[in-house]
Amino acid sequence: MEPYQNLANAIVVQAVKDYRNALKRLKKHPSSKTALFTKRDVERFFSSDWYTSLTTVEPEMLIRKVKEEVI
């Protein structure tokens, strides 16, 4: 089961990295369509059934922590 858990963790970690990068980009370039798309796409992922099947980390807490880090 460990390889599957490692894969699940890697997917969530990559989503967090993508979200962080999108927020940083939007902070510098608020009209960036690519960053806005990525931000919305990752937020949809965080609220999806797939996300909840990968981890037990509360998505709202994760989003809040990343936003606090960037701002």
Work out the mean pLDDT of the chain and round it to a whole number: 96
Number of domains in the chain: 1
Taking 90 as the threshold, does the pLDDT of residue 71 lie above it? no
Q: Where are the alpha helices (DSSP H) in the chain?
A: 2-28, 33-46, 49-54, 59-70
In this predicted model, what pLDDT tens digit does every residue of 20-33 receive, in sequence order?
999 999 999 999 99
- Euclidean distance between CA atoms 45 and 14, whole angstroms: 12
Give the up-direction half-sphere exposure of residue 29: CA atoms within 13 A in the CB hemisphere: 8
For residue 19, the enclosing domain spans: 2-70
pTM confidence score: 0.93
Please give the pLDDT value at position 54.
97
